[in-house]
Amino acid sequence: MDTNNSNTSISKTSLADSCSGERYWFAFLLSSLATFLIGVIAILLWRCGALIYKRGPTMRHRSLRLVSNPDKQEISYSFDAINERNWATIIKEYAAKLISGQQLPGKILVVTVVILSLASLFIYFYDVNTQPIESCQLWSQSPTQQIDLVFNIFFLFYFFLRFVAAQDKLRFWCLDIHSWVDFFTIPPSFTAIVLGRNWIGMRFFRIARIMNIPDILQFLHILRSSNSIRLTRVLCLLLTVLLSAAGFVHLVLLLLFYKTINKPKR
């Protein structure tokens, strides 16, 4: 009797009754992976196009000059940094200053990102305690989804700033830990609107933003010595790893228990 009640409790914790036994967690996960792969392909195509564009005019100009001046074999091709400084470079420099936190607007932006990340994490904790892992509730009827979507729109804006400011776009896209946090949290929030259901998923990765707390404490002149800064970074990293691992184990166990419970008996 107790075993049946426990199994029923796990089943309801994993999937809401309103979903009629249909699970679409893979759609949320695919939205994250598709975003990553599409971004990698777009960056590689952009690099190939930029390489062709840079080499094309040089070869054309060289051939035209050799035809018009056959006696002049030595032609200097100087790089004019002033002419090459266009609006894209200006935007990139401004974005880099903004996310670095060197100026007041940048400091406000970094603090806001950390606060909203912690708020999003609290929403995750609330949903874990009050809702199943996957629920079939319309976005318009879920206040927590609406608030979290607003946060994710802001995170998307901040991700765009970081992408613009990145020197190596491919490295930023593939190896930056905060990029992976955004991949696994932002696309699923929009997928939830399309599918009309919610998946708690990997929103626990938002805890990674606490690794910016040492920078904020430096802004506020709370941390001054190198030892205190180093210790704070280690503590934040340890807390990030522990909470992320706990959230991942919690998600995997519920999914495995649900499959075990609903496995047809022979």
Angle between helices 87-100 and 143-165 (to 10 degrees): 120
Instruction: Tell me: pLDDT of 190 over 60.
Output: yes
What pLDDT is attached to residue 147? 95
What pLDDT is attached to residue 75? 42
Mean pLDDT rounded to a whole number for the chain: 82
Which one has a higher pLDDT value, 254 or 250?
Answer: 250
Q: How far apart are CA 240 and CA 206, in angstroms?
A: 9
Q: What are phi and psi of 199, to 5 degrees?
A: -130, 120
Which one has a higher pLDDT value, 79 or 240?
Answer: 240
What pLDDT is attached to residue 230? 93
What pLDDT is attached to residue 73? 45
What pLDDT is attached to residue 235? 95
CA neighbor of 25 nearest in space, from 208, 256, 180, 207: 256
What pLDDT is attached to residue 83? 47
What pLDDT is attached to residue 63? 52
Which one has a higher pLDDT value, 63 or 18?
Answer: 18
Note the pLDDT tens digit of each residue in 111-139.
Answer: 999 999 999 999 999 998 888 888 888 88
Note the pLDDT tens digit of each residue in 54-108.
Answer: 776 555 555 555 455 555 444 443 444 444 457 778 888 888 888 887 788 888 9
Q: Which residue has the tokens 């002419």?
A: 83
Q: How far apart are CA 148 and CA 124, in angstroms?
A: 9
- Ranges 4-8, 176-180, 232-236: which has the least confidence: 4-8
